Structure 1
Amino acid sequence: MLSSLSKIILLSVLSIDCAFAAGGRVLRRAPSKSSNAIVQLFEWPWDSVALECSTLASAGYGYVQVSPAQEHIQGSQWWTDYQPVSYKLVSKRGDRSAFARMVRACNGVGVGVIVDVVFNHMTAGSGTGFAGSSYTKYNYPTAGYMSSNFHYCNGNSASDISNYNNAYKCLVGLADLAQEQPYVQQVIAAFLNDLLSLGAAGFRIDAAKHMRDADIASILALVNGTYYDTQEVIYGNGEAVNPSQYTTTGDVMEFRATTAAQACFLGRDSGGIAKLVTPTPMGSASPWGFVNSSIANYIMANQDTERSGTSLNAQSGNNVYVLSAVFMLGFNYGTPTVYSGYDYNNNYDAGAPQNSTGYTNQVTCGSNGWRCEHRAQAISSMVAFHNAANANGSAPLTNIQTGTNQQIAFGRGSIGFLIINNDNQVWSNTWTTSLPAGIYCDIIHGCAQAYNVSSDGKLSASVASRDALAIYIGAPSNGAVTTTPATSPTSASASSSVARSSSSSARVVASSITSPTTSTTSTATSSSTTTTSTTPQAPVSTAATITFSPTANVGAGETLKVVGSISQLGSWAPSSALTLSQSSGNSWTLTVTLPPATSFEFKYIRVSSSGSVTWEDGSNRVYTTPNTGSSVTLYGTFGSTTSGTSAVTGESGNSPTTTSGAAPTTTTTPASVSTAVTVTFTTTANTASDETVKVVGSISQLGNWAPSAALALSRLSSNGDWTLSTTLPPNTYFEYKYIKVSSSGSVTWESGSNRVYTTPNTGSSVTLSGAFRCAFFLLLVL
């Protein structure tokens, strides 16, 4: 059957200062976006993707890859999607309007949509397509094709074609389009332009290996706007066609990385996983022979490889499927794609669950076979690790260490450190890292354990069999470690540094998510998120045992969960909330350990079997754990934050709100005037006559990411200079962005990731300078 292999792509946004962006397009191929991880939601319907995008944004995924949107042949099998009938946007996953809604929802939270497109061929027979279009093998009236627009695999041709061999022209008996014909090129380009007009970020070109690279280039030359494409070109030993031939028409999927990881993690390669990092890390030109990392897409698996056995899959034992994904996201080769599929029960042809009308059922993770690998703690947390390691260009592989040939550890510069134990025994060791001294939490296990890195960079730990440990500078505990990477930016396209107008400065990390890049409770159409900080897990000897014991009326199929402002309570992400058990009647309970002397806020939520979330009314509940280990029970009633609790759980504000599902808010206690730090924000921005520049950030003094509470800067000159001085608490980490607000109240967020800074320990004056960043999409000019 059609090898639909892979679906990756990668659009990229170059964040540059607006003051220097005027007068011309930015034409560049290499992506600058650090949050470039892609997740392939295979066969997911459009409405489910739209709902999932807020969760993807919270985890740090930059792109979602979706299945083909064009009309296809009828049938329940997954591969029917790869036999197109027309370019109508009607498929098992939804119609044109649903597709457009999905794209708007995902773009609204900063997640680009990559569409799998099929234009090498049409079908293998005749009939009526999913949207009602009639066709025969070499005649597609709705698409505009007739027999003269095809090649024939028996050597005959409908037109005067020469110097083509069947490696390009035919694929398992499917009607092969003549992409060298200008008319065919125009029809295909019109289809791609239509997708872009709806807001798609780019394409994954199916079966690119079966088309001439020159023909692909001619088609892409007719495509308008900005986009990114990647191509399915599977390497075959000794074949005439290989991936390197397609690097001028986009990125290519490097399947050799996927199969190499499979062989090493399963022990089929005697070098084990150690071979992936030493003596020559995977992906180098010699001896690996792969395409360069800058033009490679590295996939965890896809619908073809998991079925054909050419990659690890969900049935692989000993946790190797997850560990290989952890490695992919922690390693420094290519752009990673996480695969998220469904159980097919060893039935190669089985498509996703469908209803009686042929449409794919909406997704409920963990139900009806939907696996949702992308939500797994170990995988989703490593997306953040990947983003941190690529914030200022790809951090180099450092401090490579091995135990057995199935035990590896390595750093990503001074940003993070990853340990993978694919052996059958515990790996206890002291590793050398390049991290700053401090306390870090292990993100693989949801920060359930804190680890100390000494002043000489040493890390001591024990990693269980078939497990991993990962720490990085973006998720340190108790703020003991600076969150600004120590390495300098490698290029203007990878990052920009704040101008050093005083002895203190802050670095701006490059990314293309426009709104704040942390946990969110917003709907899929929201344009900003609620930012919270993480808190490490305390050692068991000092941890406080907290029992949540609320009463709540829940509907049939609903579960009660608790979510809060610290990492142990999910950092306000409903997908990471903790589930309570129903003890009796309307009584629910959950016991957890939390760090001592830690203030946090929390709320209860009801989660239905379909995944919809209902937040309790009122303000956030607040509590501070005792200074030393002890046991406390917190009582309450769902929706009433004024009900009694044994350890007083009050409200975070005097006037409780009544809006159902209101997003949680975070607060920071103001410093006294004697210790407060005077921070001056200065920026340069091109604004309309009715626009004002404001600053908004993750702490209460900067509005808790609410544009309505942002602080207004004053215009200094007609050259676009703006400034504001304010006092902030000492020794406080915060994130912030500049926004433009018009007289009508419309808000324009600057592009790139959140700016970050930590105020000094004592009162002083600091100036933070940086131009308002505009987003320019990157396009390869062929």
Structure 2
Amino acid sequence: MLSSLSKIALLSVLSIDCAFAAGGRVLRRAPSKSSNAIVQLFEWPWDSVALECSTLASAGYGYVQVSPAQEHIQGSQWWTDYQPVSYKLVSKRGDRSAFAKMVQACNGVGVGVIVDVVFNHMTAGSGSGFAGSTYTKYNYPTAGYTSSNFHYCNGNSASDISNYNNAYNVQNCELVGLADLAQEQPYVQQVIAAFLNDLLSLGAAGFRIDAAKHMRDADIASILALVNGTYYDTQEVIYGNGEAVNPSQYTTTGDVMEFRATTAAQACFLGRDSGGIAKLVTPTPMGSASPWGFVDSSIANYIMANQDTERSGSSLNAQSGNNVYVLSAVFMLGFNYGTPTVYSGYDYNNNYDAGAPQNSTGYTNQVTCGSNGWRCEHRIQAISSMVAFHNAANANGSAPLTNIQTGTNQQIAFGRGSIGFLIINNDNQVWSNTWTTSLPAGIYCDIIHGCAQAYNVSSDGKLSASVASRDALAIYIGAPSTTSATSAVTTTPATSPTSASAASSVARSSSSSARVVASSITSPTTSTTSTATSSSTTTTSTTPQAPVSTAATITFSPTANVGAGETLKVVGSISQLGSWAPSSALTLSQSSGNSWTLTVTLPPATSFEFKYIRVSNGGSVTWEDGSNRVYTTPNAGSSVTLYGTFGSTTSGTSAVTGASGNSPTTTPSAAPTTTTTPASVSTAVTVTFTTTANTASDESVKVVGSISQLGNWAPSAALALSRSSSNGDWTLSTTLPPNTYFEYKYIKVSSSGSVTWESGSNRIYTTPNAGSSGTLSGAFR
């Protein structure tokens, strides 16, 4: 590969959606199921994807898009994966066997695998590939290509693309020095089709075709005509104003990535477009042929971001301030344009070339969400919950956009027919209003915040609420519901407690065909229904309760089918709920039929997780399925009722009564709702926080987080780190409960008490088993 390529962005494209049946080619415009949301797990290794697919299925994702599987050049940079050497299924992410097992695991839980495929070009140099295949720029023995199988747009020599107003130049010259395959040759078509058929034979659901813009649509069609079976494919064709090649030319060969939707959302959410986000829905909703000019929704692939756009600044990214990255994804999943793709990447610290963490053999390390830079945006509660909203709105065809309402130009609300309703407040002030919906009367829970709050829709379709600044509220039919609701309680912001951070300033590039790196994931422990022996099941826990004068009163009021000889208990992550020990769980009383109740006092403004368990007379314990329930208690003196059904993963609440307000603290940016395995905390875990920070002479560095041991996001209760060197290194070792998920950030605190939060998304971590230790490293952002 040419050394100059290390600073050049190359093009990466999605694959086309085509299917074939007896009697001819059948073009499928989008994945065939209503759960068609795609998540791009950028550079995740196959073992990590396999582990994650059950989590994806639970959230409702229908497809996972993985990075290229074919052999590529060597190198740590992410874009090396986009310079193929052969079609052997050996890459940084794993070998053929690992790939096949990954596909099998994902298919087993109903998640299809879409593979990023690269066949516009090969490499820019010579050497030995990741699997050991030797090559020169125009000769690839393992792939079966010789110098006669490439384009030479400058007579007998090759040259780079130089004129995007000339289709021949775009599709026959080289993309940043990469050997350009001659896809019009029948032999080349057969080789590429054999590669695609091989992927399908292993169970892949479809393809992302990289750099489709640089191949003639007729040549792509000829290749796909040789592909067997049914599959989804989408194509990367970046629009350029006035250019000779544009997305509309590829609508007969599959779905097309509509980058204009991504950049429009960026401009509106950042306020660069004076119309604000209101422009996305009124007077003409985004995507309409006029005046937007996008490809039709039925063939559009609407992406949140990808590896190119996040680095080039042509989309929102994880560094975008004011929670707009999350809110834009919420909009994408709630809106009725295209097939959505959620992006899940890793921190690259403004180093464009930075690949994912690798071991000494060049394979990507397994992924641990919240560690080593893995962001796992797809798990953020506000995003993952909206996948279910999207699925509901598309269960019987795409529900129409209805009841469009605006406040300021950064406040929008709209419905999806009679299925759901979404409110987005991208303004700096609370939006209190009564909205008109097309929903039937009833009580609905706000999925953006994990159903911690329920709202009433009246018989005339009216919904009253107050949505916090830079926040959202979403309800839909089919989400967990409750028997009591509030009419106008301000939502707790699902955003970071920090101030806005600047968007990435990395220079824009036109494509990414030569940049990407694999990554790996260790999935957090998930809770499953199991049977265990409890040391005590007949007495009520004597776990100390917080004094009533300084506590919040919480009533647990679930419904549960409990067998003869069983009682229902509640156990959770805080000491008042037994610290996940079934023997210390609190017993509920059967009020009537399947209704159970328990009223306790808990510390105010405290975030906790909990589950219900059934305990038999013999002491066996049955945990309810699904993710842990999550709630933050209101102010001291307040009271609230938590409703739910045993086995449902979320809870609704009644209106908060007593003290004014809801939670006094800001809930940091919604992070993956990780299900921690309830476990006893009789033995703690030692966690060491290490960071590097440039501080003023009167500043100290502290860590603050979402659990009580880290101050419940209160800077005054943050833990101070000690300076370990003169180079700005700080460290702290502390004990935390085992198997506990939490979020955290570093802050700088001056001698006068002023606090500076680090930028970016919250850091996340799940502590290991009791008696273990862990070290969390990362520079102050």
TM-score (norm. length: structure 1):
0.63
What SS does structure 2 have at the residue aligned with 1:16? coil
Judge conservation of contact 1:623–1:648 (CA < 8 Å) in 2: no
Deviations 1:135-184 (A, max 9, x none): 00000000000000001243437999999997562311100000000000
Deviation at 1:474, TM superposition (A): 1.2
* Other-structure match for 2:41: 41
Which has the larger displacement, 726-735 or 186-195?
A: 726-735
Q: Distance in 2 between matches of 1:86 and 1:272?
A: 47
Which has the larger displacement, 763-772 or 382-391?
A: 763-772
Deviation at 1:480, TM superposition (A): 19
Change (3 A) 1:110 1:641: closer
Judge conservation of contact 1:33–1:494 (CA < 8 Å) in 2: no
* Other-structure match for 1:439: 443
Q: Distance in 1 between matches of 2:740 and 2:350?
A: 53
Deviations 1:493-524 (A, max 9, x none): 99999999999999999999999999977999
Judge conservation of contact 1:12–1:31 (CA < 8 Å) in 2: no
Deviations 1:545-595 (A, max 9, x none): 569999999999999999899999999999999999999999999999999
Change (3 A) 1:638 1:663: farther
Deviation at 1:221, TM superposition (A): 0.4
Q: Distance in 2 between matches of 1:322 and 1:122?
A: 36
Judge conservation of contact 1:499–1:769 (CA < 8 Å) in 2: no
Change (3 A) 1:662 1:335: closer
Q: Distance in 2 between matches of 1:131 and 1:609?
A: 59
Change (3 A) 1:607 1:494: farther
Judge conservation of contact 2:466–2:489 (CA < 8 Å) in 1: no
* Other-structure match for 1:75: 75
Deviation at 1:69, TM superposition (A): 0.2
Which has the larger displacement, 170-179 or 597-606?
A: 597-606
Judge conservation of contact 2:14–2:233 (CA < 8 Å) in 1: no
Change (3 A) 1:217 1:587: closer
Change (3 A) 1:457 1:176: same
Judge conservation of contact 1:507–1:756 (CA < 8 Å) in 2: no
Change (3 A) 1:402 1:493: closer
Q: Distance in 1 between matches of 2:286 and 2:418?
A: 21
Deviation at 1:390, TM superposition (A): 0.5
Judge conservation of contact 1:209–1:232 (CA < 8 Å) in 2: yes
Q: Distance in 2 between matches of 1:325 and 1:552?
A: 35
Deviation at 1:266, TM superposition (A): 0.3
Q: Distance in 1 between matches of 2:88 and 2:212?
A: 21
What SS does structure 1 have at the residue aligned with 2:652? coil
* Other-structure match for 2:212: 208
Judge conservation of contact 1:124–1:173 (CA < 8 Å) in 2: yes
Judge conservation of contact 1:59–1:519 (CA < 8 Å) in 2: no
Q: Distance in 2 between matches of 1:484 and 1:466?
A: 10
Deviation at 1:17, TM superposition (A): 24
Deviation at 1:100, TM superposition (A): 0.4
Judge conservation of contact 1:479–1:733 (CA < 8 Å) in 2: no
* Other-structure match for 1:129: 129
Judge conservation of contact 2:126–2:135 (CA < 8 Å) in 1: yes
Deviations 1:309-343 (A, max 9, x none): 00000000000000000000000000000000000
Deviation at 1:604, TM superposition (A): 9.4
- Of residues 367, 387, 411 in structure 2, which corresponds to 1:407? 411
Judge conservation of contact 1:57–1:517 (CA < 8 Å) in 2: no
- Of residues 471, 481, 486 in structure 2, which corresponds to 1:478? 486
Change (3 A) 1:772 1:580: same
Alignment of 1:87-486 (within 5 A): 87-156=87-156, 167=167, 169-170=172-173, 171-476=175-480
Deviation at 1:44, TM superposition (A): 0.3
Deviation at 1:121, TM superposition (A): 0.1
Deviation at 1:33, TM superposition (A): 1.3
Q: Distance in 2 between matches of 1:197 and 1:527?
A: 52
Change (3 A) 1:304 1:765: closer
Deviation at 1:475, TM superposition (A): 1.1
Change (3 A) 1:36 1:379: same
Judge conservation of contact 1:484–1:506 (CA < 8 Å) in 2: no
Which has the larger displacement, 555-564 or 458-467?
A: 555-564
Deviation at 1:219, TM superposition (A): 0.3
What SS does structure 2 have at the residue aligned with 1:321? helix
RMSD: 22.6
Deviation at 1:228, TM superposition (A): 1.2
Q: Distance in 2 between matches of 1:608 and 1:152?
A: 76
Deviations 1:174-223 (A, max 9, x none): 00000000000000000000000000000000000000000000000000
Which has the larger displacement, 369-378 or 552-561?
A: 552-561
Deviation at 1:32, TM superposition (A): 4.0
Change (3 A) 1:252 1:710: farther
Judge conservation of contact 1:341–1:372 (CA < 8 Å) in 2: yes
Q: Distance in 2 between matches of 1:84 and 1:610?
A: 61
Judge conservation of contact 2:609–2:628 (CA < 8 Å) in 1: yes
- Of residues 636, 640, 653 in structure 2, which corresponds to 1:628? 636
Judge conservation of contact 1:4–1:207 (CA < 8 Å) in 2: no
* Other-structure match for 2:759: 751
Judge conservation of contact 2:492–2:667 (CA < 8 Å) in 1: no
Q: Distance in 2 between matches of 1:132 and 1:451?
A: 60
Judge conservation of contact 1:39–1:65 (CA < 8 Å) in 2: yes
Q: Distance in 2 between matches of 1:720 and 1:355?
A: 27
Change (3 A) 1:696 1:356: closer
Change (3 A) 1:392 1:671: farther
Change (3 A) 1:80 1:447: same
Which has the larger displacement, 310-319 or 610-619?
A: 610-619
Q: Distance in 1 between matches of 2:460 and 2:216?
A: 54
Judge conservation of contact 2:494–2:667 (CA < 8 Å) in 1: no
Q: Distance in 2 between matches of 1:221 and 1:764?
A: 55
Change (3 A) 1:365 1:720: closer
Which has the larger displacement, 579-588 or 456-465?
A: 579-588
Q: Distance in 2 between matches of 1:528 and 1:18?
A: 59
Change (3 A) 1:459 1:194: same
Deviation at 1:471, TM superposition (A): 0.5
Deviations 1:4-59 (A, max 9, x none): 99999999999999999999998754544110000000000000000000000000
Deviation at 1:528, TM superposition (A): 33
Change (3 A) 1:216 1:524: farther
Q: Distance in 2 between matches of 1:242 and 1:550?
A: 55
Judge conservation of contact 1:54–1:522 (CA < 8 Å) in 2: no
Change (3 A) 1:622 1:373: closer
Judge conservation of contact 1:115–1:200 (CA < 8 Å) in 2: yes
Deviation at 1:455, TM superposition (A): 0.7
Deviation at 1:225, TM superposition (A): 1.0
Change (3 A) 1:608 1:201: farther
What SS does structure 1 have at the residue aligned with 2:532? coil
Which has the larger displacement, 50-59 or 482-491?
A: 482-491
Deviations 1:288-327 (A, max 9, x none): 0000000000000000000000000000000000000000
Deviation at 1:448, TM superposition (A): 1.1
Judge conservation of contact 2:31–2:232 (CA < 8 Å) in 1: no
Which has the larger displacement, 761-770 or 349-358?
A: 761-770
Change (3 A) 1:284 1:535: farther
Change (3 A) 1:550 1:721: closer
Which has the larger displacement, 156-165 or 450-459?
A: 156-165
Change (3 A) 1:148 1:473: same
- Percent identity of paired positions between Structure 1 and Structure 2: 97
What SS does structure 2 have at the residue aligned with 1:115? strand
What SS does structure 2 have at the residue aligned with 1:680? strand
Q: Distance in 2 between matches of 1:28 and 1:689?
A: 63
Q: Distance in 2 between matches of 1:721 and 1:106?
A: 42
Which has the larger displacement, 684-693 or 220-229?
A: 684-693
Change (3 A) 1:44 1:444: same
Segments of structure 2 that go 5 or more residues without pairing to the other structure are: none
Which has the larger displacement, 6-15 or 460-469?
A: 6-15
Which has the larger displacement, 223-232 or 107-116?
A: 223-232
